[in-house]
Structure 1
Amino acid sequence: MAKATVGRAPKSNGRVAPRRAAVVFKSSEASKAEKIVLPRGIATVDAFRMIARSVLRHVVGNEAAVRVANPDGVHQMRIGLRRLRAAIATFGELLQDAETERLKRELKWLTGRLGPARDLHLLELRIKRQRTADRAEWLAEIAARRSRAFAGAKAAMQSARYRALLHDIRHWIEAGPWAERPTLRPAHREAVDFAADVVARRARKVMRKAERLHDLNVEQRHRLRISAKKLYYAIGFFETLFEGRKARDRLGTFQSTLKELLDRLGALNDIAVQQRLAISVAAPNGKRPHGAATQLPPPPPRDRIKIDHLLQSAVATGAELATAKRFWD
C-alpha cells in the first residue's frame, strides 16, 4: 500500500502566495509524469513555479522505486531529472543567479548516479537475447556490475547530499534568489508570450537540423537529439497555453512527429551506448571476465539491419518535421 506524505511550500517573508499542501505518494512502482495544465493568463514566474513543482513530484515519486532497484523507477527518475534540467534551460532568461548554477551541478551529479544502473540493465537484456558459448561469463560480469550500479543509485537516495538537494530545490522554486528581481523582458512577463517565443526559437533550430539529418554524423545527431528533447519537454510544459482548434491540431501533429524522431534517435543512441558499455565490460583496464573469450560476442546481424532501418526512418521523420505547420504563430 502506498503511503502519503504531505509537504508545504517554504515561507519567504510573505513573498510567496499560499498554496495547498502537495501530497506525495511513496510507492515502489515507477511513477510517470503528470500532465501540466497552466491556466489562461498566468504570469511567467508563476508558470515556472507550477512546472517546477510538477516535475519535482515526478522525480520524488520514483524515489522508493529506485531504493528497491526497480529499473523502470530508475528510468522514470532519470526522465524527471532531465525534465527539471530542461525546465531550467527553458526559463534561462528568468533563472540567472549563482544558486541556479549550483543546483544544475547537483542535478547533473544525481543524474550521473542513476545512469549506469539503467544502461547496464539494458545491456543485460541485450546479451540475454544472444546465443553464444561464453554468454554466461558475460552475464555474470554484467550482473555484478548492474548490482553495484543499483546499489550506488540506492545510496544516492539515502545520502545527505540528496536530501539537501531536495530541500534546496523546494526552497529555490518558491523563494530562490531569482525571485528577488525576475530578469524578464516586459514582453515575456505573460507566460503565453514567453512560451510562444521560446518554443518558436527552439523549434526553428530543431527543424533546420532535422531537414539535413541525412548529412549529420553521429555526434551531430546526438546534439540534434538533445535539442529535440528540450523542445519536446518545453512543448509539454506549455501546451495548454496554445489555444484555438487550429493551433491545438497543429501542436498535436508537430508533437507526435517530434516524438517519432526522438524515438528513432533514442534507439540509435541506446545501441551506441550499449556498444561502448560492452567494450568496457569486455576489457576493464585491459582485462576481461575470467574464462571469457577475448572479445564480446559481436552484435547479431539484426542489429546492423536495425541501425540502417532506424537511420532511414529518422531521416524521413526529420524531413516531415522540417515541413510541419507551425502552431506557435
Structure 2
Amino acid sequence: MSIEASKAEKILLPRGIATVDSFRMIARSVLRHVVGNEAAVRSCNPDGVHQMRIGLRRLRAAIAAFADLLQHAETERLKRELKWLTSRLAPARDLHLLELRIRRQRAAGRAELLTEIAARRTRAFAGAKAAVQSRRYRALLQDLRHWIEAGAWAERPALKPVPRRALEFASDVVARRARKVMRKSDRLHELDVRQRHRLRISAKKLYYAIGFFETLFEGRKTADRLATFQSKLKDLLDRLGALNDLAVQQRLSRSVAVPSGKPAAATTLPPLRDRGKVAQLLQSAAATGAELAAAKRFWD
C-alpha cells in the first residue's frame, strides 16, 4: 500500500528574529519536510520521492542562502551527503516521468520500450528505498540535527559580516539572488541546455529563499508586491522546468535499450524532443522573465 507524500509546511518567522535563530527555524522545518516523506519513499510512492527531493533541494538552498554564516568543514561534509541522497532519488523520479510521457505517445515499439523502462524504474525505486533505510541516511539525519542546533559553525565568526536581524539579512539575500536570475533570464534565448539548467537552479534558490523569509516582509503593499513577484517567478520556473524535463527525458530515452539491443528512442520511437514545444517554451519563459524584471521590488 502506497503511503501519501508530505508537503512543506509554511515557515512563520516572527518579527525581529535574529539571523542565527531564523536559520535554525528554517532548517528544522525543512528537515521535517525531508523526514516526513521517509515512509512514502519506502512504499515507492513517486510523489514521496518527489517531495523528499524538494525537501533536500530546499535544505541545500537554505545552506546556500546562509553560506556566510555556516562556513565550516562539517557544513561542507553535510552538503556532500545531501548531494549523495539526492542522487539516489533522482533516477526514480526521472524514469517515472519518462514512463508517463511514453504512455501518452502512439508509436511502434512502445510496449517493448515501456517494459524496459518499467524494469529500470523498479530498480530505481528500490535504490531510493534502500537509501532511506541505510545506516548512512540515519547517520546523516543525526548529524544534521546536531549541526543545526549545536554545530561548530555557530562558534566561529562569519565569513563576512552578517546582519544580526534576519529582515536585513533576508533583504540582502533576496536582492542578490533576484539580480542574478533577472540578468540571466534577460538573455535566455542565448543559453544552451546546461546554462538554462543553471538558471533554473538559481531561480529555485531565489524561490525557496522568498518562501523562507516571506513572513518577515510586512505591510499590505509589500505583501502585494511579494505575491506578484513570487507568482511571476513560479511561472518562469514552470517553463524552465518543462524545458529541463524535455532535455532529461530525451537523454534517458537514448540510453534505454530494448531487449534486441537497439537504442529504442532512435529506432522505434520519434525523438522525445519536440522542437516546436521547446521554441514555444523558450518564448514564454523569455516573456515571463521580462515580466519578472518589471515587477516591483518587495525587499527595498
Q: TM-score range by the shorter chain?
A: over 0.9
Q: 1:44 aligns with which of 19, 22, 47?
A: 19
2:42 corresponds to which residue? 67
Note closer, same or farther for the CA distance 1:55–1:187 as it changes in structure 2 (3 Å cut). Answer: closer
1:14 corresponds to which residue? none
Measured in 1, the distance between the counterparts of 2:149 and 2:39 equals 25
* 1:274 maps to 2:246: no
Q: Deviation of residue 307 (structure 1)? A: 1.8
Asked if 1 retains the 8 angstrom alpha-carbon contact of 2:188 and 2:282, the reply is no
2:295 corresponds to which residue? 324
Measured in 1, the distance between the counterparts of 2:283 and 2:14 equals 40
Q: Deviation of residue 308 (structure 1)? A: 2.1
Q: Deviation of residue 187 (structure 1)? A: 5.5
Task: Return 184-193 or 172-181, whichever deviates more.
Answer: 184-193
**SS of alignment partner, residue 188 of structure 1:** coil
Considering only aligned residues, what root-mean-square deviation do their CA atoms show, in Å?
A: 1.8
Q: 1:297 aligns with which of 258, 261, 269?
A: 269
What are the Cα deviations for residues 44-92 of structure 1, in whole angstroms up to 9, with x where unaligned? Answer: 0000000000000000000000001000000000000000000000000
Measured in 2, the distance between the counterparts of 1:167 and 1:93 equals 23
Instruction: Structure 1: give runs of 5+ residues left out of the alignment.
Output: 1-26, 283-287
1:307 corresponds to which residue? 278
The AA in structure 2 aligned to 1:217 is D
Measured in 1, the distance between the counterparts of 2:162 and 2:156 equals 16
Measured in 2, the distance between the counterparts of 1:144 and 1:79 equals 25
1:116 corresponds to which residue? 91
Q: 1:168 aligns with which of 114, 121, 143?
A: 143
Measured in 1, the distance between the counterparts of 2:99 and 2:10 equals 32
Measured in 1, the distance between the counterparts of 2:272 and 2:57 equals 32
1:218 corresponds to which residue? 193
Measured in 1, the distance between the counterparts of 2:70 and 2:259 equals 48
1:113-152 matches, cutoff 5 A: 113-152=88-127
Instruction: Structure 2: give runs of 5+ residues left out of the alignment.
Output: none
Q: Deviation of residue 290 (structure 1)? A: 2.6
Asked if 2 retains the 8 angstrom alpha-carbon contact of 1:49 and 1:173, the reply is yes
2:183 corresponds to which residue? 208
User: What is the TM-score when the length of structure 1 is the normalising length?
Assistant: 0.87
Measured in 1, the distance between the counterparts of 2:51 and 2:143 equals 21
Q: Deviation of residue 217 (structure 1)? A: 2.4
Measured in 1, the distance between the counterparts of 2:231 and 2:157 equals 34
Structure with bigger helix share is 2
Measured in 1, the distance between the counterparts of 2:162 and 2:132 equals 41
Measured in 1, the distance between the counterparts of 2:183 and 2:159 equals 27
Note closer, same or farther for the CA distance 1:114–1:300 as it changes in structure 2 (3 Å cut). Answer: closer
Question: How many percent identity over aligned positions?
Answer: 80
Asked if 2 retains the 8 angstrom alpha-carbon contact of 1:67 and 1:157, the reply is yes
Note closer, same or farther for the CA distance 1:296–1:322 as it changes in structure 2 (3 Å cut). Answer: farther
1:105 corresponds to which residue? 80
What are the Cα deviations for residues 4-53 of structure 1, in whole angstroms up to 9, with x where unaligned? Answer: xxxxxxxxxxxxxxxxxxxxxxx921111000010000000000000000
The AA in structure 1 aligned to 2:183 is R
1:220-259 matches, cutoff 5 A: 220-259=195-234
**SS of alignment partner, residue 28 of structure 1:** coil
Asked if 1 retains the 8 angstrom alpha-carbon contact of 2:71 and 2:159, the reply is no
Measured in 1, the distance between the counterparts of 2:185 and 2:272 equals 29
**SS of alignment partner, residue 139 of structure 2:** helix
* 1:156 maps to 2:128: no
The AA in structure 2 aligned to 1:134 is G
The AA in structure 1 aligned to 2:238 is D
Asked if 1 retains the 8 angstrom alpha-carbon contact of 2:50 and 2:93, the reply is yes
Measured in 1, the distance between the counterparts of 2:129 and 2:203 equals 30
Measured in 1, the distance between the counterparts of 2:82 and 2:72 equals 16
Measured in 1, the distance between the counterparts of 2:268 and 2:94 equals 17
The AA in structure 2 aligned to 1:212 is R
Measured in 2, the distance between the counterparts of 1:76 and 1:187 equals 31
